[in-house]
Amino acid sequence: MKIKIVLILIGLSFFSMFGREENISFASDAKKYVVGFSQATITEPWRLLFNKELRIEADKYPEIELLVRDGLDDAQKQIADVEEFISRKVDVILISPKVAQDLTPVVNKAMDRGIPVIVLDRDLSNKKYTQFIGGDNKLIGRTAGEYAVKRLGGKGKAKGNIVEIWGGMAATPAQDRHSGFAESISQEKGIKNLIQPKDGDWKQDLAYDIMAEALDKFDKIDLVYAHNDPMAYGAFLAAKDMGREKEIMFLGIDAIPAEGIKWVHQGNLTATFLYMTPGAEGIRQAMKLLRGEKIAPNVVLPTMIIDSTNAAEILKKNGLL
């Protein structure tokens, strides 16, 4: 009988110790902050890299519980994702909006509820958010335009027919990449823009179709400026299928080593312009904010030109050559 009671007591105290352990469980206690990340889509390699870089950075902070939602390339789904974060009362929201206008009200609502929002890569229609992090798309567009002018004969003498393939027209990077480029080529009387703006929605297959139509219509195309590398590559493939790829230069944007830089190295694209993902920086800034530090309203990520002069070197550095 005595033994039985002792055993029960030992059992009980072990159980209560275990119970206490659970209450102070490392996982729940260490995770002080809930960070909600709303991604626009994961259909493009650049988005996958973005998510990967964001997760790697978040793993460095045991106090972060990270929730990631995929907007499935659909503004309505992305609005619902942010609504979910608002009702869960997360500590901070990171968002890379598919389009500006549709996502602005829900971000404004989060701010009204006292949840700080860091906007990544694509901007909104107003500045009612905590911080924006992204590349300078206007600068990238201008740099691509200057590069095009140089390759088409130089300032004041450039000559050529250009096809511009837009990313999603309702997204600010496409608008800025267009206006920056237009600024650089506008002084060149010898440069002709062949087609009316057409929305390629950042997709390789849509760009293929836009380019196939342009190739059908125009006998002489000298340069394609696409708002990202997948679309520049889609345009290249369309030209290749018609045996005309050698007479055309293709410029893209993003410069992911295994994608755009590889295509430059293979000679398919002439150049690409670096557009870093804001994944890691987004988490770093969110952590600063959560720890009570002041953060800047704007963080600009750097860019660079990648063409045949430096593509191999970058691929080597990334272990891809």
Residues of this chain that interact with ligand FRU (CB under 6 A) are: 41, 44, 46-47, 121-122, 167, 171, 173, 202, 228, 253-254, 275
Amino acid at 310: N
Residues 6+ away with beta carbon under 8 Å from 296? 131
CB of 31 to ligand FRU, least distance (A): 29
CB of 181 to ligand FRU, least distance (A): 14
Nearer CB in complex with ligand FRU: 181/202: 202
Nearer CB in complex with ligand FRU: 203/265: 203
CB of 303 to ligand FRU, least distance (A): 11
Pairing of strands 117-120, 131-135: parallel
Nearer CB in complex with ligand FRU: 160/200: 200
Amino acid at 129: Y
Nearer CB in complex with ligand FRU: 50/61: 50
Q: Which candidate, 181, 271, 195, 279, places its Cα nearest to that of 229?
A: 271
CB of 166 to ligand FRU, least distance (A): 11
Report the distance separating Cα 304 and Cα 275, nearest Å. Answer: 8
CB-CB neighbours of 169 under 10 Å? 15
Q: Are 130 and 145 in contact (CB under 8 A)?
A: no
Query: Which two tokens mark 81?
Result: 């994702």
Nearer CB in complex with ligand FRU: 122/198: 122
CB of 230 to ligand FRU, least distance (A): 6
